[in-house]
Chain A
Amino acid sequence: MAEKGVKVFGMWASPMVIRVEWALQLKGVTYEYIDEDLGNKSDALLRHNPLTKKVPVLLHDGKPIAESAIIVEYIDEVWKDGYPIMPADPYERAQARFWAKYADEKCNAAIYPVFTATGEAQSKVVHEAQQCLKTLEKALEGKKFFGGDAFGYLDVIVGWYAHWLPIIEEVSGASVVTEEELPLMKAWFDRILAVDVVKETLPPRDKLLALNKARREQLLSA
């Protein structure tokens, strides 16, 4: 007999996991959160996601789903009478999915090197990250959120930047999202951080900062 209810297998510092929590909380869904030690993954996680063994995994009435962007769409479809996450119009949906893919594939790849680059190499990777984010920023033009007036799918997907990027900047000493270079994104950061579900789920800044400092030192000394 499949167990009823919703479980999220996550890790407190993971931005991919937080997307799932935002989606569930927007819908008012009660769920059990299981924090994983990624260095010692639980049997349950390995059983529910044997292919990639990654978090987040959503378990709904015993059935697992992996990949955060896919989980978010699933949540929107299952709890379809709740807060609308995806845009209603098919063309807008296509745009939202396009930018989500662009952010996850191109922007994340451009941001990661900023975390570890030092000295002269840093300004080059910062510039590339900014170019990527400037392209993404175009989707914000004339809007409060990527979703328009309200926090929507693309905000759920990239909203993590608002909390994590300033930490990456502090840890690496780089300046990426500035008033001069990315004014729309900077203003959007403030709006994101004021959203209720965001405020209620963000990992504590000092804890996240300490973790990322340690991780960076580890990577640089490897």
Chain B
Amino acid sequence: MAGGGSNEVKLLGFWPSPYVLRARLALSLKGISYEYIEEDLESKSELLLTSNPVQKAVPVLIHDGKPVCESSIILQYIDEILAGVGPSLLPEDPHDRAMARFWASYINEKLVKALNQTWGGKTEEEKAEGMKQAADAVETLEGALKDCSKGKPFFGGESIGYVDIMLGGLLAWADVREVVKGVKTFDPAKTPLLAMWSDNFGTLDAVKAVMPNIGKLVDYAMVMQPHGAAAAAAAAAAAVAATN
């Protein structure tokens, strides 16, 4: 990492978490070496509890002993600390930056919430509503991709940026959703640009280096399911909600 000091970087994570994946994607893209510490969310480490006392959640980036929490904030922090090293995550132009932040916020507020509801909804109606909201959000993001990419493959243009990573972090669970529920989150028939985007995203070396094993993630999702609908839904929602 650029700059003085010990420059020691640790990332507290939980391998199924899409938010932790976002942090790992950013670190991978910037080529930073770091110590990854897998947390047992049922038995959180002292380091996690003292580094993120407010939410006790992962991911937490610890840089020279100082913790940064929340995936969107970690990404911006990494980008600012490493301005000039590797591709810039946020665009140069202030208006484009504002739009990137807007879409990142939209992804969290609309898409993530809806997808969580498809897994953790207490009733079939709630899950179905989640599915509908997710489909609507993806449709809106198709338009956003068209606007932001300006004909290039990614929201960030030629290379992946902040919005790509905020959305890309969800791709592993999108694959799981296809396997377990038979639903394509980025359907080429409905949102062709996003379907191509997800393929392009998946082929990048920096991405392949950190993507969790989909088979393993499917097993994890299935373990959450069979212990009765209410308990499983609660467990799945809790596991995802325990990370940010």
- Residues of chain A having any CB pair with chain B under 8 Å: 51, 60, 63, 65-67, 70-71, 73-74, 77-78, 90-91, 93-94, 97-98, 101-102, 135
Given known contacts A65-B102, A90-B77, A101-B70, A74 and B54 CB-to-CB distance under 8 angstroms? no
Closest A-chain residue to B144, C-beta based?
A51
B102 in contact with A94 (CB, 8 Å): no
* Complex CA distance for A27 and B32, rounded to whole angstroms: 36
- Residues of chain B having any CB pair with chain A under 8 Å: 54, 63, 66, 68-70, 72-74, 76-77, 80-81, 94-95, 97-99, 101-102, 105-106, 140
Which of B69, B81, B102 touches A90 (beta carbons < 8 Å)? B81
B68 in contact with A70 (CB, 8 Å): no
Across the interface, which residues of B come within 8 angstroms of A78, CB to CB?
A: 94
- Closest 9 interchain pairs by CB? A90-B80, A74-B98, A77-B94, A94-B77, A94-B68, A70-B101, A65-B98, A97-B73, A78-B94
A66 in contact with B102 (CB, 8 Å): yes
* Complex CA distance for A51 and B137, rounded to whole angstroms: 11
* Cross-chain pairs A/B with CB under 8 angstroms, 16 sampled: A51-B106, A51-B140, A60-B95, A63-B95, A65-B99, A67-B101, A74-B95, A74-B98, A77-B94, A91-B77, A93-B77, A93-B80, A94-B73, A94-B74, A94-B76, A94-B77
A71 in contact with B76 (CB, 8 Å): no
* Complex CA distance for A94 and B63, rounded to whole angstroms: 12
Across the interface, which residues of A come within 8 angstroms of B68, CB to CB?
A: 91, 94, 98
Given known contacts A93-B80, A94-B68, A102-B54, A67 and B105 CB-to-CB distance under 8 angstroms? yes
Across the interface, which residues of A come within 8 angstroms of B102, CB to CB?
A: 65-67, 70
Across the interface, which residues of A come within 8 angstroms of B54, CB to CB?
A: 102, 135
* Complex CA distance for A67 and B95, rounded to whole angstroms: 13
Q: A60-B95, A67-B101, A77-B94 are in contact. List 17 more A-B contacts (CB 8 A).
A: A63-B95, A65-B102, A66-B102, A67-B102, A67-B105, A74-B98, A90-B77, A90-B80, A91-B63, A93-B76, A94-B73, A94-B74, A97-B70, A98-B68, A101-B70, A101-B72, A102-B54
Count CB-based A-B contacts (< 8 Å).
54
**Interface residue SS majority, chain B:** helix
Name which of B54, B66, B106 has the most chain A CB atoms within 10 A of its CB: B54
Minimum Cβ distance to chain B for residue A134 (Å)? 11
Minimum Cβ distance to chain A for residue B30 (Å)? 14
Across the interface, which residues of A come within 8 angstroms of B106, CB to CB?
A: 51
B66 in contact with A91 (CB, 8 Å): yes
Minimum Cβ distance to chain A for residue B106 (Å)? 8
Which of B74, B77, B97, B140 touches A74 (beta carbons < 8 Å)? B97
Across the interface, which residues of A come within 8 angstroms of B140, CB to CB?
A: 51
Across the interface, which residues of B come within 8 angstroms of A90, CB to CB?
A: 77, 80-81
Closest B-chain residue to A66, C-beta based?
B102
Across the interface, which residues of B come within 8 angstroms of A65, CB to CB?
A: 95, 98-99, 102
Across the interface, which residues of A come within 8 angstroms of B77, CB to CB?
A: 90-91, 93-94
Name which of A65, A70, A73, A94 has the most chain B CB atoms within 10 A of its CB: A94
B94 in contact with A74 (CB, 8 Å): yes
Closest B-chain residue to A100, C-beta based?
B73
* Complex CA distance for A94 and B102, rounded to whole angstroms: 17
Minimum Cβ distance to chain A for residue B75 (Å)? 10
Across the interface, which residues of B come within 8 angstroms of A60, CB to CB?
A: 95
Across the interface, which residues of A come within 8 angstroms of B72, CB to CB?
A: 101
Across the interface, which residues of B come within 8 angstroms of A71, CB to CB?
A: 98
Across the interface, which residues of A come within 8 angstroms of B76, CB to CB?
A: 93-94, 97
A98 in contact with B73 (CB, 8 Å): yes
B98 in contact with A73 (CB, 8 Å): yes
Across the interface, which residues of B come within 8 angstroms of A97, CB to CB?
A: 70, 73, 76
